[in-house]
Homo-oligomer: A and B are copies of this chain.
Amino acid sequence: MTTGVRRRMGVEERRQQLIGVALELFSQRSPDEVSIDEIASAAGISRPLVYHYFPGKLSLYEAALKRASEDLAARFVEPHEGPLGARLLRVMRRFFDFVEDHGPGFSALMRGGPAVPADTDRPLDAVSRTNALVDSVRQAAYVQILAHLEVQDPPARLELVVRSWISLVESTALIWLDGRRIPRRELEVQLVHDFAALAAVSAAHDAEMAALLRRMFGNEPGDGPFADLVTRLVTLAS
C-alpha cells in the first residue's frame, strides 16, 4: 500500500538517493556551502525525514564522500591488456571525467576538512576520517599502478616515482579546476608523459630503475603515448 502518488522507498534505497542528491549538489558548490535543507528539497522530502536516514549533516556528508571515493578508486581499475601507455591514458581520461563531474566536491575531498560542518562534535576526528579516505584513494591508485608494472616488491625509487606522480596528478587536477584554462584532453596526455618523464629522470640516476624502465616501456608501440612523447621531444630539441 502507498499513502500517496510517490512510491515509498526502502531505508537503504532512500539513503542511496540522498547520497546521490548530495553528490549532485556538491558537483556545483563546495559541500560546506550546501545545507541539509537544500538536500531535502532537492530530494523532495522534509528536513526531519533526512535526519531520519542520517543522524546528522556530517554522517550524510561522510557517506557521500565515501561513495565518491569508491567511485574514484574504481576508475583506476583497468584490464591488464595491451600497451602500458594506452592503459594509463584510459585511466587518466576516466579520472578527469570524475574531476569534471564532481568539481567542487573533488576539491573539498582533496583539500580535506572543508566538508566538515562547523557544528560537529569532535570535528578533528572527522578531518582525520576525510584524510584517511583520501589516503585510501591514493593507495588504491598506487596498488593498481604497481600491478600493471608487474612489480611485487617495489624498490624505494619506484615507490617514490609512482607516489609522487600520483600527487602531481592530484595537484594538476586541482589547478585545472581553478579556471579550466588548459584543455583537459591535453592534460590527460601530458600526465601520461609526465609519468614517463619522472621515471626517466629516476632511471637516469639509478641502474635498477633503468632496468625497470627498459622492461616497462621496452615493448611500447610506435603509435602509443610514450612514443608520441619521444617524437615531441625530438622535435622540440631540433
Contact = CB atoms under 8 A, between A and B. Distances in A.
Interface of A: 111-113, 116, 118, 123-124, 127-128, 131, 156-157, 159-160, 163-164, 167-168, 170-172, 175-176, 179, 181-182, 186, 189-190, 193-194, 197-198, 200-205, 210, 213, 229, 232-233, 235-236
Contact of A157 (B160, B182, B205): B182
Given A171-B167, A193-B204, A203-B236, A131 B156 contact: no
B205 A201 contact: no
A168 B194 CA distance: 11
A139 to B, nearest CB: 13
What are the 5 tightest A-B residue pairs by CB atom distance, in nearest-first order?
A: A204-B232, A167-B171, A156-B181, A197-B197, A193-B201
Contacts of A113: 112-113, 124, 127-128, 131
A175 B201 contact: no
Nearest to A167: B171
Nearest to A194: B201
A227 to B, nearest CB: 13
B202 A190 contact: yes
Given A124-B113, A156-B181, A200-B236, A190 B205 contact: yes
Contacts of A118: 124
A30 to B, nearest CB: 13
A163 B175 CA distance: 8
Contacts of A204: 193, 229, 232-233, 235-236
A169 B212 CA distance: 23
A113 B123 CA distance: 11
